Amino acid sequence: MTATEDLIASAEAHSAHNYHPLPVVVATADGAWMTDVEGRRYLDLLAGYSALNFGHGNTRLIEAAKAQLDRVTLTSRAFHHDRFAEFCARLAELCGMETVLPMNTGAEAVETAVKTARKWGYRVKGVPDGRAKIVVAGNNFHGRTTTVISFSTDAEARADFGPYTPGFEIVPYGDPTAMRAAVTENTVAVLLEPIQGEAGVLVPPPGYLAGVRELTRERGVLFIADEIQSGLGRTGRTFACEHEGVVPDMYVLGKALGGGVVPVSAVVSSSEVLGVFKPGEHGSTFGGNPLACAVALEVIAMLRSGEYQRRAAELGEHLHRELGLLAGAGRVTQVRGRGLWAGVDVDPAYGTGREISEKLMDRGVLVKDTHGSTIRIAPPLVISKEDLDWGLAQLRAVLGG
């Protein structure tokens, strides 16, 4: 048995099988590269589903974490700590909003958004108790908790996990007529991914997000943008909503906010909306802890420079130009995306997404398939053009005609 086989067998023996990882065992990582336990190097074209926008072992982020580790790591929100105020102020500023509620994982932040919208609906909008509705889109991915999967349309994510939480209305993504019809006087929020990541990097038709903004404003409904995967530089802007000049009422953030170092998520909105919470109504032991705040503050400072957004826009243009040449020419049927983010649909006749991912792994490139035959490409934003081109050459070798 090789070291890889041994470690995989041991993991399978002692862990729940809720994932089906590629057969690679990573030992170290740096920038856009990972090295396995046998010394083989791989280009990371997944970047932890965008949690690693700033690359593995980013010096600024690791230094910020190390410095904070020597000071204080956790207080719980029972006490104040000296990084909290700055974190909230800087994040609110980055979002052009007023108030921050920090959590840890993405799903927790989505849960927080749902609770916020419901309470706002009852206390501010005046929806009758227990009648609040949130409109969501088909093919969404907002996490894995029981409430969040209650409004998933993915059978695999839901089966055997009921009973489900009521209060959600599902409409087709990208369809403004269906959205308009779904909004009633009891609707408190529309919750959308501005680009659907897990669905295969689906970009809505032009004007869709702006239309939802207009509708929600008109009808007194909160527009909640789940930018957990699309936000913080990935698409070439700080937020994917910016591509349509849209400012939602609430951002839900996660993944890259923790710099690939610690889990950090947050809901960011106005003081009127997040002001609905009173002590004891919501919280998290780890949410907004000093280590999380220290790392996230560095992430926010990096984003304020605009450097990463510019990189994602420039390299993204190159990525989509190159992928465009593959589309229709070889085994690729369609390519979508924005910035350094692409969904590549492979003709199923040439194998499943999993099989394509394994072929790429054998060539030293790590990607993740989604929905059968789609490959998702989302390298760290710090990837060099040379490395990206090398990765694209491997893609061409596997998927070219």
Ligand X SMILES: Cc1ncc(COP(=O)(O)O)c(C=O)c1O
Catalytic residues: 141, 226, 255
Query: What b/e string do you get for 104-121 counting C-beta neighbours within 10 Å, with b at 16 or more?
Result: bbbbbbbbbbbbbbbbbb
Contact status: 369 vs ligand X (CB under 6 A): no
State the DSSP H helix or E strand holding residue 189, giving kind and residue range, or none if neither. Answer: strand 187-192
Of 31, 102, 121, 143, the one binding ligand X by CB under 6 A:
143
Could you give the angle at the alpha carbon of 224 between the alpha carbons of 221 and 225, nearest 5°? 145
Pattern 235-264, ligand X, x by CB under 6 A: -------------------x----------
Contact status: 49 vs ligand X (CB under 6 A): yes
Nearer to ligand X, 45 or 398 (CB): 45
User: What does R_g of the chain's alpha carbons equal in angstroms?
Assistant: 21
Distances (CA, A) of 358 to 20, 254, 353: 12, 28, 9
Please state the length of the chain. Answer: 401
Nearer to ligand X, 228 or 315 (CB): 228
Q: Report the alpha-carbon distance of residue 98 to residue 90 in Å, rounded.
A: 10
Nearer to ligand X, 198 or 249 (CB): 198
Contact status: 141 vs ligand X (CB under 6 A): yes
Nearer to ligand X, 33 or 49 (CB): 49
Q: Report the alpha-carbon distance of residue 110 to residue 103 in Å, rounded.
A: 10
Q: Report the alpha-carbon distance of residue 170 to residue 270 in Å, rounded.
A: 26
Q: How many residues bind ligand X (CB under 6 A)?
A: 15
Tell the smallest beta-carbon distance from residue 246 to ligand X (Å). 16
Contact status: 229 vs ligand X (CB under 6 A): yes
| Bond from prior residue into 206 cis (ω within 30 degrees of 0) | no
Determine the angle formed by the axes of helices 290-304 and 307-326, rounding to 10 degrees. 70
Three state DSSP letters for 43-102: EECCHHHHCCCCCECCHHHHHHHHHHHCCCCCCCCCCCCCCHHHHHHHHHHHHCCCEEEE
What DSSP designation does 122 have? Answer: I
Nearer to ligand X, 49 or 54 (CB): 49
Identify the three-state secondary structure at position 125.
helix
Tell the smallest beta-carbon distance from residue 191 to ligand X (Å). 10
Tell the smallest beta-carbon distance from residue 12 to ligand X (Å). 22
- Residue with CB nearest ligand X? 106
Pattern 148-187, ligand X, x by CB under 6 A: ----------------------------------------
Of 111, 198, 298, 345, the one binding ligand X by CB under 6 A:
198
Contact status: 110 vs ligand X (CB under 6 A): yes
Contact status: 228 vs ligand X (CB under 6 A): yes
Q: Report the alpha-carbon distance of residue 363 to residue 235 in Å, rounded.
A: 27
Contact status: 193 vs ligand X (CB under 6 A): yes
Contact status: 107 vs ligand X (CB under 6 A): yes
Of 81, 118, 133, 142, the one binding ligand X by CB under 6 A:
142
Give the other-Cβ count within 10 Å of 288's Cβ: 24
Tell the smallest beta-carbon distance from residue 401 to ligand X (Å). 32
Of 53, 99, 105, 309, the one binding ligand X by CB under 6 A:
105
Q: From 117-125, 221-229, 332-340, 393-401, give the range in contact with ligand X by CB under 6 A.
A: 221-229
Provide the binding-site residues for ligand X, judged by CB under 6 A.
49, 105-107, 110, 141-143, 193, 197-198, 226, 228-229, 254
